[in-house]
Amino acid sequence: MASDLVARRVFVGLIVASILLLALVVQPFAKGFFLAAVLAGALYGAHKKLTRLLRNRPQLSAGLLCFAVVVALLLPLTGFTAFVVTEAADGVKYVRETLKAEGVEGLKDRLPGPLRSLAEKALERFQVEEMQLDEKLQEQVSTSGGTAAKAVTGAVAATGSFAFQTVMMLIAFFFFLVDGKALVEWLESVSPLKRGQTAEILREFRLVATSVLVSSVATAGVQAVAALVGYLIARVPVPFFFAAVTFFLALIPAIGAAVVCLAAAGLLLVTGHQWMALFLAIWGVVVVGLADNVVKPLLVKRGLDMHGAIVFFALLGGLATFGTVGLLLGPLIVAFFLALVRIYERDYGRPSSRPTDPATPPT
């Protein structure tokens, strides 16, 4: 008997150790796996329909959905990069031609009022003649070369990390779609909970994840439309481009949609439109920025059996604790807690305290 107890304790210790080691192995890919599970849960219904349309080919359906996710990620990034590169090339060409034809003074005279005064102060500070400007610029570039190299190295490292996490997410997303049902059945079979309880908790997770994803995209659309109205009123150049950037940055809570409005307001300010810049800054902070705190909890609440205040604080608390991923983790943690309470009350709760007739035999 004692040997059985010791063996059981050792076995429990081995299980705990294996769980810790498994966490260390999974940790580098944790965010990618989590996002893959969320996307798989949200798109599993579409995967089943597409599988039926493709004559029961789940691998092909999962591959097409992975391709759709890649397009959804790369298309806006490619379009934004192409626009920036084109505008930058046009700007460099304009500056080069103006310098060649009219010199530094001619370029300075073409600048808007606020920028012209800043350029004059900068030239006075450098205290160089027009012929010496190139040497001064070369000197500044040389002294800043180390800092620029570090910045470029950091940007390349961040890009590589993002690409790695994205690839891991897509691989996990594919296998979650193809073998998700078998994974749920395996978890149900090895779980110490009663039969059906694990599947119920997983269904709750899927419902919350789908609601949060749909609400995030819908809220970003509302913010983009509100920002577009402000851009049109303030007469921001290429307003639809700024609205598209607003939509995609609204999906990133650490940045937010209001940042684009403030950047556009800064553009209006340096080009001499002070009142329009002030209007757009206020519009971006009050209307566009606060829309996220009002619209998203309302949309999330529609898909969940959860009070609006709980959803609001779950979103903010998750964001403050876990960062961007917390927008999903916060509501998931709250939903997990509520699901456990509901299951416990239903399956293990105290019996009703109704008075019974002593003559009535117990059932």
Highest mean pLDDT among 28-32, 159-163, 262-266: 262-266
* Tally of domains within the chain: 2
In this structure, of 119-128, 158-167, 170-179, 282-291, the range with the lowest mean pLDDT score is 119-128
Are both 201 and 93 inside the same structural domain?
no
Same domain, 287 and 214: yes
Instruction: From 180, 211, 245, give the residue that closes a domain.
Output: 180
The model's confidence at residue 95, banded by pLDDT at 50, 70 and 90, is low
pTM of the model: 0.65
pLDDT class of 143 with cuts at 50, 70, 90: low
CA 301 to chain centre: 19
Residue 151 has pLDDT above 60, yes or no: no
Helices (H), 27-144: 30-53, 58-109, 113-126, 133-143
Check whether residue 223 and residue 328 sit in a common domain.
Answer: yes
User: Is the same domain home to 342 and 252?
Assistant: yes
Does residue 113 sit within a domain?
yes
User: Do 297 and 164 share a structural domain?
Assistant: no
- Tell me which residue of 222, 184, 218 sits closest to 303, measured CA to CA: 218
Euclidean distance between CA atoms 352 and 330, whole angstroms = 34
Query: In Å, how far are 343, 345, 354 from 350, measured between CA atoms?
Result: 13, 8, 12
Amino acid (1-letter code) at residue 87: E
The answer to whether position 274 is within a domain reads: yes
Confidence of residue 99 (pLDDT cuts 50, 70, 90): low
How much is the pLDDT for 136?
52
pLDDT for 363: 43
| Of 248 and 1, more confident | 248
Mean pLDDT of 56-79: 83
Q: Which residues contact 93 (CB under 8 A, 6 or more apart)?
A: none
**pLDDT tens digits along 284-338:** 888 888 887 778 777 777 766 667 677 778 777 887 787 777 777 787 888 778 7
Domain-embedded: residue 61 = yes
Question: Looking at the domain assignment, is residue 300 inside a domain?
Answer: yes
229 vs 97, higher pLDDT:
229
Tell whether 147 is covered by a domain.
no
Give the residue numbers spanning the domain of 167. 28-131+157-180
- For residue 84, what are the contacts with CB-CB under 8 A and spacing of at least 6? none
Per-residue burial over 323-338, b = 16 or more CB atoms within 10 Å of its CB, e = otherwise: eebbbbbbbbbbbeeb
Is there a domain that residue 17 lies in? Answer: no
Non-local CB neighbours of 210 within 8 Å, separated by 6+ positions:
41, 42, 303
Residues 175 and 254 in one domain: no
Q: How far apart are CA 340 and CA 328, in angstroms?
A: 18
Q: Kindly state whether residue 276 falls inside one of the protein's structural domains.
A: yes
Residues 311 and 224 reside in one and the same domain:
yes
pLDDT at 234: 87
User: Is the pLDDT higher at 280 or at 5?
Assistant: 280
Residues 81-102, mean pLDDT to the nearest whole number: 69
What proportion of the chain, given as a percentage, has pLDDT over 70? Answer: 71
Tell the residue number behind the tokens 């012929």, with chain if given.
131
Looking up tokens 């983009």 gives 224
Do 43 and 87 fall within a single domain? yes
Place of tokens 């959804």: 72
271 plus 173 within the same structural domain? no
User: With contact defined as beta carbons under 8 Å apart, do 162 and 155 qualify?
Assistant: no
Residue 129, pLDDT > 50, answer: no
Q: Are 176 and 35 found together in one domain?
A: yes
Domain end among 145, 180, 215? 180
DSSP 191: -
Q: Is residue 355 part of a domain?
A: no
Q: In the prediction, which pLDDT does 128 show?
A: 46
Q: Are residues 259 and 171 in the same domain?
A: no
Q: What's the token pair of residue 201?
A: 């908790």
Q: Are residues 241 and 323 both part of a single domain? A: yes
CB-based burial of residue 254 (10 Å sphere; 0-12 exposed, 13-18 middle, 19+ buried)? Answer: exposed
Q: How far apart are CA 82 and CA 345, in angstroms?
A: 57
Question: Taking 80 as the threshold, does the pLDDT of residue 16 lie above it?
Answer: yes
pLDDT of residue 2: 57
